[in-house]
Structure 1
Amino acid sequence: MHNDTFMNMRFLRILDLSSNKVSLMDPGFLYNMHGSLFYLNLSFNKMSTLDITNGIASKQDYFCLVDYSHNSIKSLTNKKTWKLKMNTTLGHGGMVNLSNNSLTAFFDLNTLRFLGFEHLFLIGKLMNYGFDLRDNKWNCDCKIYQFAKAAEPFAKYMSRGYFDVKCYAPRKFKDTSMLTIIKDHLYDGLICKLSFADKCPPKCRCMYQPAVRNRTLIDCSDLHLTRLPRMLPDYNVLEVDLSNNNLQNLPLQFRHMHKHGRNIKRNLDRIRLFNFSNNQIRMLPRSNLFHLRKAEIDFRENNINSLHRSMAELNPCNIYLDTVEMQCKCEDIWLQQWLPKSDSKCHKNVHVLCRLKGQLISIKSMTKKDLGCRIPNTNFIWISTIIVAAFIIVVLLSASIFSFRFEILIIGRKFIKYFRGTSYPMTLFYDVYIACNEEDEKIRLWLTSHLLPTLEVNNMLRVFWPCRDSEIGVPREEEMINVMSNTQTFIIILSEEYKGPVRWNEKEWKHAWHNYTHDLNREIIIINYDLLEANEIAKRYLGAFLRIGQFIDFSNHKKSIENEIASLIIKQDKNLKKYERKISSHSQIDDETFPFLKQYPLYSEFQYKE
């Protein structure tokens, strides 16, 4: 029957083709029917398949009955790969009678996807439909489980006659209503037997049982097997029974599987129960055991006489070994920590007995000496530990001293001066040398209007400021070295990065630090003009002053910064009066001692006054 035969009969209400010899029906007949067809009767024909598009309608809102009963329908098809979309409407439907056919396999998720229902919730679009599936040869197996679990909340409301669908197989459920299975939760018997096509190993019996931990049972017991199965079904929770066989060399079996490229990891990771009981196993595999860490393994009733340390990767509560008698060595001492404690629920799973002088003694009771272990010299261990600890302390201390060497030098220098006292030589010509960013107009303005008058006028200190006092034509670095070597205190003003073509600031810092570290009589005063952090300063030795708090914060407005700087300079010569410093310094300066001073106007002025 073609799908366009009655296409233009918009007022066709009843179409009765029952008791004929119709064997084929084109897909889309009912789905595309655009009219007012209420009754379609194709019962008692010879149809063996039915397309999904002939069981639902989308172009007409209602129909009363579509009757496909008493055919030989064995399966549903989807020849046009129809898919139900989210925005597709299937009308208000009607009754679809599929009773008295030969359907056997129920609709699991894979079948529904094949029929065009990508997601299970799309079945809700068929709520207004009724499907009479009675009197088919339904096999109530694992495929019913998902449907049964989803139908549990609605089972008590399913009172219509066509819901009374009964099982034909297996024998356990023959003539049992599916509603009874749902209401009484008879899910354990819903199993699917797997064949060789499903990768069930030859001669083994395999079945999928979703109601019990979603497990797949592979029963290969009592088959006189000498080798491990080479394939396993593609399910996630496997329980493999290899008991009562003739398995012997498991390490060789595992190596053979790995050598021939079989995916051991994928197979072992999916196993949750591995039964090797009552075989002839003497040795356990040393590799790949960690893939079985999620599984319970039964090795009882074998002849195992050694346990490799790789067993430590497994949980002892998941392994059944009963009693293992072995010749214990020092390398087996790990078993004392691995075996379950006596108060553990699984302490009977594994017992390891060692042969010692004709007796069997639990390995838990064996000492290192009994196991033949070499007992280390305690004194040697203590001495080695002390040496290593001392070495680590020295290394850490050295690293700390190196990291904070500048801070330690500055603090240590202060302590030495405090206990030893300080005497100022009268041969130093300048009291203060000012190092700053000469390109910064704000710094220059502050120096000329505030700091220099305070130092020179108010406190009669001799100040050298390169920006003002340098002699024209004299090499600057040579002049810098000569002047700084004859200066008492260095004032370093820290500001943002210097932009000049020559970084004179860093040269001044270097010579100031050199004089400071080689002469206890010299001092450095740091003024943090731009509120820099210690890690923002290029030279770490200047950052050390900031880290220990030995600097003047330019943001401190509680008192005059200029007076604070002057007091720090005057404090260094507290044993001499300011007036005596002024008049005594020049009387002892002659041309032979400081020949380079002749070029400075300040020196000529002092000589003239003298």
Structure 2
Amino acid sequence: KGDITFGHLYRPWNDTANPNRTNLFCPSDCDQQYATYIHREDGCCRCRMKPAWELDLTDVEFLNVEYRRRRGTAFIILIEQLMNYKYQILIHTYGFLSKIPENVCDFAQKLVKLDLSGNGITNFESISCLTNLDTLLLARNKILHVKNETFFGLSMLRVLDLSNNDIKVLEPNTLSDTSLFLHSANFRQNQMKTIDITNAVIENPFCKIDYSDNKITDFTNEVSFQINPDKIYGDGGYIDLADNVFQTWINFTDLGFPDLNYFGKVVSYGFDLRRANWTCDCKMQPFLEKVKPYLGKIWRDYYNITCTEPPELSGVSIADMSMKNKLDNFICNISVTSGCPLGCHCYEQPSERRTVVNCTGVGLTTMPSKLPAFSNIELLLENNLIHELGDIEYLTQLKKLEINNNPLRKISSALAKRIKYNVDISLNCTNLEKIPITFKQLDQHRVKLGVCNITCDCSSKWVKEWISAKSDNSNHNELYCKASGGNIPIISFNFDALDCAVDQFLIYIAIALALFLIILSVCMFVLYNYRYELVLILKNPTIGRENMVSMLYDIYIVVNENNDEALLWTKTVLTHKLKRLGYNTYFPFRDYIFGDLREEQIIQMLSKSRDVIVLLTSEFNLNEENLNTLYANLEWRHAWNNFKTNSSERNLIVINFDQLKAGDFDVSPLKAFLRLKMTLDFADRSHSLMGDLLARIGPPSRVNKKPIYKQTNGYYNNLNILHYLSKCK
């Protein structure tokens, strides 16, 4: 039938994007027009094709509507129920339907077109069953909201018309689902104020999506869309956004385009943005700079958008300015609240990669206290009353500084240190006596000093050398040295006639003194922060002392009695082992005489003890007011003082019971013990704790105590007891 009726005008067409469609026909003239451009031929077919039922109505059944209630509820009915048509179409326009007929799903198998334009339908959520629906026309109804699952699964839907409704919300991803293959979608003349980027950046090919004549002011990105640079989106067609109320240019970065190059690379269709209230400013410039090379080659009428603001650009074609290299006009004014000094004109100009702060002739007596938070600032301060250039933080932001025609008398030496090397500086130094030597670190080719009459002495010799290095010899005749016989060009001034050697000697003295003070400061810092380490290195508690005197106690044991594990080990192991080896020990937990003043007894017993063993636990680093902690810290302080004053006979041994680190303590003797690794490790896997301990405390001092080991050449053969003591931990 097709070959006879319309075969000479249309041919069957397979949509490569949606190969399941088998009832579409392409105009034959698309073949003739784009015979050598298959890609364009496909686009022509897609946008001009017709389905089979529009070319031949003999196989189409038209359905009817029967109202069941006055409020607009209706059902679809068949008139000729005996006929078996291939396609079904329902057209019921300008009625009073309040919703889509309730039994529409009963006709899902053959229904290809549903035209209910001009009714009172407010929602249409019940159409997901219409899997063969090709055309859905719901223009001029009362629809307010379109959900993103409304068209899900309608892979045959090709034409959608929701124009002239009251739609305020079109949810994200309503049109971008990959199961949709829409050729056209019409949302013209609705009430939308924003459009989500997912409803404008669509993967499948389309012809036109119309959002014109709404109230759209901006794009949104509610689902954090990010462009995929490896895909091609749209493949032809365009999106009509004309006659909306856009003002500020689109921020493509916020819409998922981190690089503007992606936009032209992957979005293969156009946007009509005409007849909006566009403000032509710096936000528009980066985009126009990217598309400028292509505007002349791929010109479309809808590219010709015009400016509304600022007034001087009203009605001017944006594309025309771009193609004529007038992007300098696209600037953003910066307000006082954004850092522009009062009375100045500040603006950002991306085409020149600069921000201008123009304070020319506004009566300033000092430099501005702050500038906008931008880089590459050009600060123009000409024709003011500024007497001094000071050191201000924003100097690091400058690209250019112009301060001509100001009565400058002083320039801070720190100014040149803060300014970047390649900054352009222009000033007049007529009233200056000195030019700071810090200017020597600036690029002399970028500094214009104007006419200067300076005092030339030994400290000014560098100026002559500095400007002499200029390759173009510019400004030489503008710098003069004051002299009794008149001003002399600095190039001709004889600095060798000045006795600068003395001054040079003083400079060397000052440098040497400064170095001495720095070294002294470093030494003082080291001595203060490492004073305890120095004491330990000199007195070396890791070597046992020879027993030259006899004292009442060989060893005083310090344990914080709040630590039950350390206390138990000392009572059951340490004191017993030392006793068997012939040592007389004083252990406060065991030997303290109740009734005596605790501090006096600590001092007295430490004075009668030769060596001190400290079990270092975490309680030594606490600042709590617990008595046991206070007494343990008191014992430690007196033991440390005794060790410092008489380390040749007394020794101080620290056992790291809780495996503490140097970082657990502030500057203190305990920190020094840990830092120098002069403690004994309680958890030593070699089981040598008691052997190492005996090597540090020396032999017993009391003659009536006979140890079970033998002394040989000042060292102790403790091999016989190591097996016995190996379980001490």
Q: For 1:489-528, what aligned pairs fall within 5 Å after superposition?
A: none
Structure 1 residues 367 and 50, CA gap change in structure 2 (3 angstroms): same
Note the C-alpha offset of 1:100.
Answer: 0.8
Partner in structure 1 of residue 216 of structure 2: 73
SS in 1 for 2:488: strand
Structure 1 residues 325 and 57, CA gap change in structure 2 (3 angstroms): closer
AA aligned opposite 1:238: I
Structure 1 residues 145 and 348, CA gap change in structure 2 (3 angstroms): farther
Partner in structure 2 of residue 276 of structure 1: 403
CA distance in 2, matches of 1:63, 1:361: 80
Q: For 1:320-335, what aligned pairs fall within 5 Å after superposition?
A: 320-335=448-463
Aligned length: 357
The question of whether the paired residues in 2 share the 8 Å contact of 1:326 and 1:355 is answered with no
CA distance in 2, matches of 1:342, 1:12: 74
Identity %: 28
Question: Do structure 1's residue 248 and structure 2's residue 387 form an aligned pair?
Answer: yes
Query: Which of 164, 168, 192 pairs up with 2:332?
Result: 192
Question: Do structure 1's residue 14 and structure 2's residue 120 form an aligned pair?
Answer: no
Note the C-alpha offset of 1:363.
Answer: 3.1
Structure 1 residues 344 and 112, CA gap change in structure 2 (3 angstroms): same
Structure 1 residues 10 and 301, CA gap change in structure 2 (3 angstroms): same
CA distance in 2, matches of 1:160, 1:366: 69
Partner in structure 2 of residue 183 of structure 1: 323
CA distance in 1, matches of 2:422, 2:471: 23
Partner in structure 2 of residue 90 of structure 1: 233
The question of whether the paired residues in 1 share the 8 Å contact of 2:208 and 2:237 is answered with yes
Partner in structure 1 of residue 73 of structure 2: none
Note the C-alpha offset of 1:320.
Answer: 2.4
Partner in structure 1 of residue 295 of structure 2: 155
| CA-to-aligned-CA distance 1:324-361 (integer Å, 9 cap, x gap) | 2233323222222123479835225841231325x222
Question: Do structure 1's residue 116 and structure 2's residue 116 form an aligned pair?
Answer: no
Partner in structure 2 of residue 555 of structure 1: none
Structure 1 residues 56 and 338, CA gap change in structure 2 (3 angstroms): closer
Partner in structure 2 of residue 238 of structure 1: 377
The question of whether the paired residues in 1 share the 8 Å contact of 2:408 and 2:428 is answered with no
SS in 2 for 1:104: coil
TM-score for the superposition, normalised by structure 1: 0.54
Note the C-alpha offset of 1:101.
Answer: 0.9
The question of whether the paired residues in 2 share the 8 Å contact of 1:368 and 1:375 is answered with no
Note the C-alpha offset of 1:29.
Answer: 0.9
Q: For 1:476-495, what aligned pairs fall within 5 Å after superposition?
A: none
| CA-to-aligned-CA distance 1:75-121 (integer Å, 9 cap, x gap) | 111011111234555353532110011112334xxx22211123333
The question of whether the paired residues in 2 share the 8 Å contact of 1:167 and 1:175 is answered with yes
CA distance in 1, matches of 2:501, 2:196: 79
| CA-to-aligned-CA distance 1:30-76 (integer Å, 9 cap, x gap) | 11273343332221122111110111323xx3333211111111111
| CA-to-aligned-CA distance 1:381-417 (integer Å, 9 cap, x gap) | xxxxxxxxxxxxxxxxxxxxxxxxxxxxxxxxxxxxx
CA distance in 1, matches of 2:425, 2:470: 21
Note the C-alpha offset of 1:9.
Answer: 4.2
Which has the larger share of helix?
1
Partner in structure 1 of residue 484 of structure 2: 356
Q: Which runs of 5+ in 2 are unaligned?
A: 1-144, 504-729
Note the C-alpha offset of 1:194.
Answer: 2.1
Structure 1 residues 323 and 73, CA gap change in structure 2 (3 angstroms): same
Structure 1 residues 210 and 345, CA gap change in structure 2 (3 angstroms): farther
Structure 1 residues 17 and 91, CA gap change in structure 2 (3 angstroms): closer
Structure 1 residues 122 and 369, CA gap change in structure 2 (3 angstroms): closer
AA aligned opposite 1:233: P
Partner in structure 2 of residue 224 of structure 1: 363
AA aligned opposite 1:192: C
SS in 1 for 2:185: strand
SS in 2 for 1:73: coil
Note the C-alpha offset of 1:282.
Answer: 0.5
Query: Which of 100, 104, 112 pairs up with 2:247?
Result: 104
Query: Which of 261, 265, 278 pairs up with 1:138?
Result: 278
CA distance in 1, matches of 2:208, 2:490: 78
Query: Which of 417, 420, 426 pairs up with 1:290?
Result: 417
CA distance in 2, matches of 1:33, 1:334: 72
Which entry has the higher C-alpha Rg, 1 or 2? Answer: 1
Question: Do structure 1's residue 45 and structure 2's residue 190 form an aligned pair?
Answer: yes
The question of whether the paired residues in 2 share the 8 Å contact of 1:16 and 1:42 is answered with yes
Partner in structure 2 of residue 313 of structure 1: 441
The question of whether the paired residues in 2 share the 8 Å contact of 1:323 and 1:353 is answered with no
| CA-to-aligned-CA distance 1:402-458 (integer Å, 9 cap, x gap) | xxxxxxxxxxxxxxxxxxxxxxxxxxxxxxxxxxxxxxxxxxxxxxxxxxxxxxxxx
Structure 1 residues 339 and 241, CA gap change in structure 2 (3 angstroms): same
Structure 1 residues 363 and 94, CA gap change in structure 2 (3 angstroms): closer
Partner in structure 1 of residue 467 of structure 2: 339
CA distance in 1, matches of 2:455, 2:230: 73
CA distance in 2, matches of 1:86, 1:342: 49
SS in 1 for 2:417: helix
CA distance in 2, matches of 1:325, 1:87: 65
CA distance in 2, matches of 1:313, 1:25: 61
Note the C-alpha offset of 1:373.
Answer: 4.2
AA aligned opposite 2:259: H
Q: For 1:436-515, what aligned pairs fall within 5 Å after superposition?
A: none
AA aligned opposite 1:249: E
Structure 1 residues 66 and 174, CA gap change in structure 2 (3 angstroms): same
Instruction: Using CA pairs under 8 Å that are at least 6 residues apart, name the structure with larger relative contact order, 1 or 2.
Output: 1
Q: Which runs of 5+ in 1 are unaligned?
A: 258-263, 377-610
The question of whether the paired residues in 1 share the 8 Å contact of 2:206 and 2:234 is answered with no
| CA-to-aligned-CA distance 1:442-495 (integer Å, 9 cap, x gap) | xxxxxxxxxxxxxxxxxxxxxxxxxxxxxxxxxxxxxxxxxxxxxxxxxxxxxx
Structure 1 residues 31 and 343, CA gap change in structure 2 (3 angstroms): closer
The question of whether the paired residues in 1 share the 8 Å contact of 2:444 and 2:470 is answered with no
CA distance in 1, matches of 2:494, 2:158: 95
SS in 2 for 1:235: coil
The question of whether the paired residues in 2 share the 8 Å contact of 1:93 and 1:129 is answered with yes
CA distance in 2, matches of 1:184, 1:362: 48
Partner in structure 2 of residue 591 of structure 1: none
Partner in structure 2 of residue 605 of structure 1: none
The question of whether the paired residues in 2 share the 8 Å contact of 1:316 and 1:350 is answered with no
The question of whether the paired residues in 2 share the 8 Å contact of 1:320 and 1:349 is answered with no
AA aligned opposite 1:42: F
CA distance in 2, matches of 1:21, 1:329: 83
CA distance in 2, matches of 1:343, 1:208: 34
Larger mean CA deviation between 70-79 and 365-374 belongs to 365-374
AA aligned opposite 1:218: V
SS in 2 for 1:131: strand
SS in 2 for 1:157: coil
CA distance in 1, matches of 2:462, 2:286: 47
AA aligned opposite 2:182: L
CA distance in 1, matches of 2:378, 2:468: 24
Note the C-alpha offset of 1:240.
Answer: 0.4
CA distance in 2, matches of 1:281, 1:156: 52
Structure 1 residues 362 and 119, CA gap change in structure 2 (3 angstroms): closer
Structure 1 residues 327 and 220, CA gap change in structure 2 (3 angstroms): same
AA aligned opposite 2:404: S
SS in 1 for 2:378: strand
The question of whether the paired residues in 1 share the 8 Å contact of 2:426 and 2:449 is answered with yes
Partner in structure 1 of residue 46 of structure 2: none
Note the C-alpha offset of 1:138.
Answer: 2.0
